[in-house]
Structure 1
Amino acid sequence: MNKQQLAARIWESANKMRSKIEANEYKDYILGFIFYKFLSEKEVKYLKENDWTDEYLSELTEEDTETVESIQKNLGYFISYENLFSTWLEKNRDFSVQNVRDALSAFSRLINPAHKKVFEGVFDTLQTGLSKLGDSAASQSKSISDLIQLIRDIPMDGKQGYDVLGFIYEYLIEKFAANAGKKAGEFYTPHEVSLLMSEIVANHLKDRDKIEIYDPTSGSGSLLINIGKSASKYISGENKVKYYAQELKQNTYNLTRMNLVMRGIEADNIVTRNGDTLEDDWPYFDENDPIGSYNPLYVDAVVSNPPYSQAWNPVDKETDPRYAGYGIAPKGKADYAFLLHDLYHIKPDGIMTIVLPHGVLFRGGEEGEIRKNLIEKNKIDTIIGLPANIFYGTGIPTIIMVLKQKRINNDILIIDASKGFMKDGKNNKLRVSDIKRIVDVVTARESVYKFSRVVSRDEIRKNDYNLNIPRYVDSSEEAESWDIYASMFGGLPISEIDKLDKYWKAFPLLREELFENSSKGYCQLARNDIKKSIKEHSDVKNFEKKFQKAFQSFDKYLYDKLIVNINESSVLKSEEMLSEEMFKRLEDIPLIDKYEAYQLLDDDWTEIAVDLEIIQTEGTEAIKKVDPLMVTKKKAGKEQEVQDGWKGHIIPFELVQNTILSEEKERIKAQENRLSEIASEYEEIFDSLTEEEKGFDFVSEDGWVISEVKRALKSDSIELETKEKLETIAKINDEEKSLKAEIKTKSASLETKTKDIIENLSDEQASELLKAKWIIPLIQNIMQLPDRIIKELVANIELLEKKYETTFEEIENEITETEKVISGMIDELEGSESDMLGLKELKKLLGGVQNDERKW
């Protein structure tokens, strides 16, 4: 299964196991065991790379001091054979909670002193929480055994293994945060926000050989990791990023360290602190060597998502160099304290991004003074307004602020990105196209209608340093307006036709063919079939041809980059390279939103990237592999995983059947269609039964009783018409049985043939199937973009036509006519004296009085 499926399966199982434990606590346990598994298997891998074999692993003990020191020096820790995760699994029923206690105690004792900051106390939360996994040693052992069985399938070996592990780790953190509300959401920055910040930072740092990055409120460490990942697209070589992190909460601090280590980052490149960022700032020094290790921390980038509007202690902070020249944040809101802390720690050519509540843009008092000083000192580079409900546990509007120590510009780019998102349950989520759009605008520093604007410092001064986004960027949709003349007399207002100007620029001759002027400022449609008129117009056909020409060789380009050079394609860099090629082809094409096209690319890229990871890790033979298809079934009241056929490791069975085995697939499909027809025939004959026939035993509430049908056919007392119906039922029942047996046999045969074909694919066939899986669907989706534009234009014109198709005069006439009809019907009614008086009054209201007496 791919990493998404594996992660979902682990989450589903974890959900079942945490009924008695708080989600946030259970997260610490499951992630702690995942980390221990990672360290165990990393050590085994290291040993095997140094000539150890499985048969000698049992000799891995503390007594072998030479081996212990070698492992400690290279990995930073040591785990003996008896404490390895794999040894726990081998124990089966002999496994107990004491094995875990002993292992974690030994781990703490055997950390390399040079790597204590990375590993010391990292399992404290897990160790103290073991007692919560059951009320006795036996129940604790059972819970832990279930848990380690749950995570045993996470691969830890090779490049793809680390990617899978990191993905599952972040997936679980996100799921726990989403389900535990604010408590867990405090330390988790949604992946999409993290990615947006990372891309902005990475773009600024792209010309550097190595970088240092720092997160003073690191939480789970996802922000740091994503920035390192984004920056790696531009930096050649490995281990060129150094990570600094500080986190106040011990449990969350442990998550930071685990996450960084599990991403394959060298221990020497991880510098972490467990402390209060605002009270206990860097410079960092090691207590064992305060002078020699003194490091006044200045880094290339600082990123943070601090707790919003948190109380803090501003007493005696006037002399703190972080705040000098800017001001002190109020004690009830530490937002600007965190911002100034971040700003202080970036190098002169560095960058920082911080997530803050929207209020920091306009609140007065001490915050207003700090904001003024930041603007006058030219530190604020960009402000990005995010959609509401984008963070777990809070619906408050948030922003990303980008600041730099030294800037060429003296203006501020303000972006309102609050309208670009997709719904994801209760939360809103940035799409990759939204992220790309924002990053491109930040990079180009451009003003885009209804989206962004470069604002001068003078304008901000005139607004008393208020940076509230709506003051500068109006992203609201235009309110619906109605033309009074057109509403009264009909016709289409030319002013509203003008609003479709982008289409008329692209199709310059189309407008005059669709509309004809009826009076000054008004027109009407000159064609009855709008859709046909637009589709067949030469401007539109030329537009479609131009698009097709631009993309006619895109499939060949994709084939060459992704399949011919499959082992050279960087999973990290390929999507950006493909998007650049796509944007280049769209340069001269009007109307097409390049970000919509990019979203189509990314929708397919997610699956392509997973496949590429596997192929590049396992080799091209992975394309020709099949895996057991495991399903959960109930046996003896218990859910068990059993094999139910096969599935392709890379190539889906359905794809092979739809291409290479299409004739066999169609024959089975035809028989399945016939089965559906038989079901309808059963129902049709059942509906034709008389009430007397429905009383016989061959009919039940659920339909036909076939055994009774056959018995009735042997009876001489049955009427001829009834007998004919039963004969038809018996006949189609025999056909149904035969069809089901044939379909079962043919389906099994088809699956066997599919498995055989995949396992014996030629290299050429494998390439063609990858093309069918990766490239053809993407090309088909892209080629539909012009049609979407045409449908939008048709919909806009039809909506405008419908808006004014009925005039007020016509409505008035309809009302008058209806009143006459109802009035006439009242005349035919009879009733008591009081009823008739009431009806007479109703008739007056409906038109029984003169028009000049009616009130409108």
Structure 2
Amino acid sequence: MNTETLNDTLAMIDRLKTVCANYGLANDSSEYKIITESFLYKYLNDRMLYELGKLDQFKDCESVSAIEERYRGLDEDARAMLPYELGTVAIIRPEWMVSSLYNLQDDDFAKTFDTALLGIAQDNIDVYSVKAGTESITLFQGVSRFIIEANKRNDFCRSLVGSLVDFSFFDAFSQGYDFFSQVFEYLIKDYNKDSGSYGEYFTPHAIANIMARILAPAGDMNVTVYDPAAGSGTLALALAHQIGEGNCTTYTQDRSQKANEFMRLNLILNGQVGSLANVVHDDTLVSPRHLEPDGKSIKTFDYVVSNPPFKADFSQSRDQLASDKYGSRFWAGVPKVPAKQPEKMAIYLMFLQHIIDSMKPDGKAAIVVPTGFLTAKSKIELEIRQNMVNSGMLRGVVSMPSNIFANTGTNVSIIFLDRSKQYDHALLMDASKLGTKEKVGKNQRTILSDEEIERIIKTFNGSQEQDDFSVIASYDAIREKRYSFSAGQYFEVKIDYEDITPEQFHAEMDERMGKLRELWTEGERLQREIEEQMKAVHLA
């Protein structure tokens, strides 16, 4: 990885944040939109120029500025051919390029900048929009509106463009997933503070890496990947990278608009532009939008990964989800809404059922759940676990260390399902003692080392039993323990024995009896002192 290029990219992001801070928008709800739109605008600008440089008519251009000048000079027919030559690369009109706007002397620059962003979005709507129900959310919505004082909008927009002009993504385009995953995490780290609420989960890359490498250790070909509560897309993108970005198509849905905007950005940065049409902004439980050609049954996938919200307020749609219309999908039942705290409805149980129904007959899945699910005795939890075992698809469970998420104390486990063969046993792993504690902001987070991640993956994929770490439990044994998925309940209890001679035994006993006599003597002395003190108090 090119560290210098990474640092330059992060510095550019910092400049954009500084502009927002200078205009009073630091930590404002609009800041993430301004930062991500400006960043993406620059990324698409440079990507187009980079790809233009590969075409025959540009190969003699020795600099970026030369490519830009050649592009500006193309006639209308040549420019009309570019979408066919560049494929899914966004086309930006010459007058809307970063350098063009930067050099433009315009008394209404804010309007010009917004017009450019909206125009780029409209020109590329067929590839770069996201579905929102039956409508579409375009690539850009403009940024000047977030400055309330109209007389400051021109300078604000000029400052944004000025923060972009001296940076180039050209060296970054040769980097891979590891590079852009770091850039993406840095880009959104300040705008993903609501983890735990619906659609706002940001799954640590360690967990994403473990899930991807256990699900598809050798990659795959021509498959589909799905996340019904995708958040910013960490899990789906990690699995797509493990499979091979060109070997899979990604499908996601989430009801959070912010999460979907992050998801779209993540896909673009990681070369999954072809999957943008499959990003849906809508409520997965009430209105699943990925359907089979009949338009009625939900689509099934080769791989499903998800870190669904554990709890959320679904009080308005709970009765609807519990109706006969949804009965076949939520076969284990719908949890009740807590009367005093509706936001604590165990909504992850609904996603578990949805995920099982979204798997192909030979599909595989990995789902993050609260560790309490592994042993919960309530009807819904028990019936879901029974389904996983009795259908022969429970491959295994990994219980993770506490605080693996910096902003939630909930202990989590990962459940792995596999319908490609019939299992009669599962590998249960207790990795809760791994990792080291690290302070992240005001919270503590557990960090897994590379060696610990490798241990988890190799032990699981190799079906290895290790003392007090992993055990292979037969389905019959799991049934006997009321379908408990907790590894600790299956570990063999071992008692260490040491052979000693009769002389050693008597010597050990004499030593221990001597210590006991000393303790008894000391106890009697203390008792006498207490009695004497009590008499003195009484006489006084």
Q: Same fold (TM over 0.5)?
A: yes
The correspondence for 1:329, drawn from 299, 323, 334, is 334
In structure 2, C-alpha distance between the alignment counterparts of 1:431 and 1:154, rounded to whole Å: 33
Matching residue of 1:471: 489
Contact 1:308 1:335 in 2 (8 A): yes
| 1:584-605 Cα shifts (integer Å, max 9, x gaps) | xxxxxxxxxxxxxxxxxxxxxx
Letter paired with 2:82 = I
Matching residue of 1:404: 418
For residues 429 and 474 of structure 1, do their structure 2 counterparts lie closer, same or farther at Cα, with a shift above 3 Å needed?
A: farther
In structure 2, C-alpha distance between the alignment counterparts of 1:379 and 1:56, rounded to whole Å: 55
Contact 2:227 2:252 in 1 (8 A): yes
Q: What number of residue pairs does the alignment pair up?
A: 494
Contact 2:228 2:284 in 1 (8 A): yes
Q: How does 1:387-426 map to 2 (within 5 A)?
A: 387-425=401-439, 426=444
How much has 1:76 moved relative to structure 2?
A: 5.7
For residues 445 and 522 of structure 1, do their structure 2 counterparts lie closer, same or farther at Cα, with a shift above 3 Å needed?
A: farther
TM-score of the two chains, using structure 2 as the length reference: 0.77
Matching residue of 2:258: 251
How much has 1:188 moved relative to structure 2?
A: 1.2
Matching residue of 1:300: 302
| 1:653-679 Cα shifts (integer Å, max 9, x gaps) | xxxxxxxxxxxxxxxxxxxxxxxxxxx
In structure 2, C-alpha distance between the alignment counterparts of 1:9 and 1:143, rounded to whole Å: 19
Matched, 1:86 2:99: yes
Contact 1:189 1:222 in 2 (8 A): yes
Q: How does 1:774-853 map to 2 (within 5 A)?
A: none
In structure 1, C-alpha distance between the alignment counterparts of 2:47 and 2:164, rounded to whole Å: 19
In structure 2, C-alpha distance between the alignment counterparts of 1:22 and 1:350, rounded to whole Å: 42
Contact 1:380 1:412 in 2 (8 A): yes
Contact 1:413 1:442 in 2 (8 A): yes
| 1:270-306 Cα shifts (integer Å, max 9, x gaps) | 6222211111224448xxxx87x99963322011111
Q: How does 1:537-552 map to 2 (within 5 A)?
A: none
How much has 1:106 moved relative to structure 2?
A: 0.8
How much has 1:199 moved relative to structure 2?
A: 0.9
Q: How does 1:603-752 map to 2 (within 5 A)?
A: none
DSSP 3-state at the match of 2:43: helix
Matching residue of 1:98: 111
DSSP 3-state at the match of 2:456: helix
| 1:43-63 Cα shifts (integer Å, max 9, x gaps) | 112322222454573575799
How much has 1:402 moved relative to structure 2?
A: 0.9
How much has 1:151 moved relative to structure 2?
A: 8.4
Matching residue of 2:232: 220
The correspondence for 1:168, drawn from 170, 183, 191, is 183
DSSP 3-state at the match of 1:408: coil
DSSP 3-state at the match of 2:395: strand
Contact 1:97 1:140 in 2 (8 A): yes
Q: How does 1:315-326 map to 2 (within 5 A)?
A: 315=320, 317-320=323-326, 323=329, 326=331
| 1:505-535 Cα shifts (integer Å, max 9, x gaps) | xxxxxxxxxxx999514999xxxxxxxxxxx
In structure 1, C-alpha distance between the alignment counterparts of 2:416 and 2:98, rounded to whole Å: 44
For residues 10 and 323 of structure 1, do their structure 2 counterparts lie closer, same or farther at Cα, with a shift above 3 Å needed?
A: same
Matching residue of 1:596: none
For residues 810 and 299 of structure 1, do their structure 2 counterparts lie closer, same or farther at Cα, with a shift above 3 Å needed?
A: same
How much has 1:461 moved relative to structure 2?
A: 2.2
Contact 1:189 1:391 in 2 (8 A): yes
| 1:348-367 Cα shifts (integer Å, max 9, x gaps) | 22210111112322140233
How much has 1:451 moved relative to structure 2?
A: 1.0
Matching residue of 2:354: 341
How much has 1:185 moved relative to structure 2?
A: 8.7
In structure 2, C-alpha distance between the alignment counterparts of 1:184 and 1:216, rounded to whole Å: 12
For residues 88 and 397 of structure 1, do their structure 2 counterparts lie closer, same or farther at Cα, with a shift above 3 Å needed?
A: same
Matching residue of 2:279: 272
Matching residue of 1:231: 243
The correspondence for 1:38, drawn from 19, 23, 43, is 43
| 1:287-334 Cα shifts (integer Å, max 9, x gaps) | xxx87x99963322011111113344253554548637x422314322
Contact 1:221 1:255 in 2 (8 A): yes
For residues 327 and 809 of structure 1, do their structure 2 counterparts lie closer, same or farther at Cα, with a shift above 3 Å needed?
A: closer
Unaligned runs of 5+ in 2: 337-344, 534-540
Contact 2:399 2:431 in 1 (8 A): yes
DSSP 3-state at the match of 1:101: helix
Matching residue of 1:66: 77
Identity of aligned residues (%): 20
Matched, 1:373 2:387: yes
Letter paired with 1:437 = R
Matching residue of 2:453: 435
Matching residue of 1:520: 504
Contact 1:118 1:257 in 2 (8 A): no
TM-score of the two chains, using structure 1 as the length reference: 0.50
For residues 151 and 412 of structure 1, do their structure 2 counterparts lie closer, same or farther at Cα, with a shift above 3 Å needed?
A: farther
Structure with greater helix percent: 1
Matching residue of 1:193: 207
| 1:589-627 Cα shifts (integer Å, max 9, x gaps) | xxxxxxxxxxxxxxxxxxxxxxxxxxxxxxxxxxxxxxx
For residues 300 and 183 of structure 1, do their structure 2 counterparts lie closer, same or farther at Cα, with a shift above 3 Å needed?
A: closer
In structure 2, C-alpha distance between the alignment counterparts of 1:229 and 1:521, rounded to whole Å: 62
| 1:438-494 Cα shifts (integer Å, max 9, x gaps) | 11122122322111122222222222233345433599x99xxxxxxxxxxxxxxxx
For residues 195 and 7 of structure 1, do their structure 2 counterparts lie closer, same or farther at Cα, with a shift above 3 Å needed?
A: farther
Matching residue of 1:121: 137
In structure 2, C-alpha distance between the alignment counterparts of 1:85 and 1:109, rounded to whole Å: 17
Report the RMSD for the aligned CA atoms in angstroms: 4.4
How much has 1:143 moved relative to structure 2?
A: 6.5
In structure 2, C-alpha distance between the alignment counterparts of 1:523 and 1:160, rounded to whole Å: 73
In structure 1, C-alpha distance between the alignment counterparts of 2:480 and 2:54, rounded to whole Å: 67
Matching residue of 2:537: none
Q: How does 1:748-767 map to 2 (within 5 A)?
A: none
| 1:383-407 Cα shifts (integer Å, max 9, x gaps) | 1111121224311111111112243
In structure 2, C-alpha distance between the alignment counterparts of 1:365 and 1:201, rounded to whole Å: 29
How much has 1:371 moved relative to structure 2?
A: 2.5
In structure 1, C-alpha distance between the alignment counterparts of 2:74 and 2:7, rounded to whole Å: 42
| 1:793-815 Cα shifts (integer Å, max 9, x gaps) | xxxxxxxxxxx9xx969999xx9
Matching residue of 1:240: 247
Matching residue of 2:468: 450
Matching residue of 1:27: 32
Matching residue of 2:342: none
Contact 2:131 2:280 in 1 (8 A): no
In structure 2, C-alpha distance between the alignment counterparts of 1:184 and 1:323, rounded to whole Å: 20
How much has 1:75 moved relative to structure 2?
A: 2.7
In structure 2, C-alpha distance between the alignment counterparts of 1:95 and 1:87, rounded to whole Å: 15
Matching residue of 2:368: 355
Letter paired with 1:42 = R
For residues 181 and 218 of structure 1, do their structure 2 counterparts lie closer, same or farther at Cα, with a shift above 3 Å needed?
A: closer
> RCO greater where, 1 or 2, for CA within 8 Å and sep 6 or more?
2
For residues 112 and 13 of structure 1, do their structure 2 counterparts lie closer, same or farther at Cα, with a shift above 3 Å needed?
A: closer
Matching residue of 1:382: 396
Letter paired with 1:217 = A
Contact 1:210 1:241 in 2 (8 A): yes
Contact 2:231 2:254 in 1 (8 A): yes
How much has 1:21 moved relative to structure 2?
A: 3.2
